Amino acid sequence: MPRPQRSYLSPTPASVLQPAQQLSGHSAVVRALAWSHDSALLLSGGKDRTLIVWRPAESEQPLQRQRFPGWVASLAWGAHEWVAVGCSDGHVYRWSPAGTERADRPLIDQQQLVSDLAWLDADHLISAGAGTAAIWHTASGTCVHTLAGHRGRVTSIAVSAALGLIASAAEEETVRVWESASGALLHTFKPHEWYISSVAWHPTRPWLTSGSLDEMIHIIDYPTGALVQRCGHVPDWVRCLDWHPSGDWLVCGCKNGALWLWRREGAQLVCHGTLQAHQRNILALQWSHDGRWLASASEDRSVRVWAFAPD
């Protein structure tokens, strides 16, 4: 796709992020990240079919490794001791770093690559795939609701427990909003010009945030659909994004390996700066639950952890 004529943001160092750990242990692209709820452990999974457990505050050495039948495409650590692991073989596995859950027993059979995972509540998990997402009852492994309507692969899903809503983004440039309880489709938005790579709800406001290969981030007020703000253009594809738990900071990762950071001032975001975090495409980002750390994962086979020190 030829790059159109646009006014791009000027790079400015992001002073609030400082390098803490560079975690090297994967032999292929790293696709997924998940923090434990106490923010002590970080999980990373990738195309080497390996899940690695790290304790970033103490060491750059892996604590544990686990192989899976397919490559690891998505991770979701809920309010349990175990984590849901979505793989390229179409299965979601239930695995525990404590060794109480085995990696060879599928929790869910989706029959297609599991592109994203998100917990709806303690008993229900949402998985994404080609054209659909689904809500599963994890104890029985049964599908409760199918969220159908996307024409392309569902790339990202996000849950707002406060609003009782699920958002899904897909390759065909749409973001759809579903009622959590019934699985009913409520709204369809088309905020971007190209493939949408990531979607996230603001932690405290009814803001639906999406990032795209059109080099833009859009923030929509829900349910009015009113545009709150367009953030960009950044100089390359937006591949992933995440809100800080405080709701005051938004970070995105780009194809060129750069992180971009925005700070909320009232109802607007101001670009704080950028950081060349990786040598290649950033495919996953996640703030720790305590807000002290940011983890990034890349095509360069590395995971990096950044200490967050706001002014």
Q: Where are the domains of the chain?
A: 17-308
DSSP symbol at 129: -
pTM: 0.93
Order of strands across the sheet that contains 249-254 = 238-243, 249-254, 258-265, 268-276
Name the residue among 218, 208, 215, 219 with its Cα closest to residue 176: 208
Give how far the C-alpha of residue 21 lies from the chain's centroid of Cα atoms, to the nearest Å.
Answer: 20
- What pLDDT tens digit does each residue of the chain (311 aa) get? 455 556 566 667 778 999 999 999 999 999 999 999 999 999 999 999 999 999 999 999 999 999 999 999 999 998 888 899 999 999 999 999 887 666 667 888 888 899 999 999 999 999 999 889 999 999 899 999 999 988 889 999 999 999 999 999 998 888 999 999 999 999 999 878 888 899 999 999 999 999 988 888 989 999 898 999 988 778 789 999 999 999 999 999 999 999 999 999 988 899 998 999 999 999 999 999 999 999 999 999 999 999 999 87
Alpha-carbon separation of residue 56 from 21, 61, 141, 213, 237 (angstroms):
7, 8, 33, 31, 28
CA distance linking residue 209 with residue 54, whole number of Å: 29
Amino acid 216: pLDDT: 87
CATH number of the 17-308 domain: 2.130.10.10
Residue 31 structure tokens: 């696709």
CA distance linking residue 263 with residue 164, whole number of Å: 26
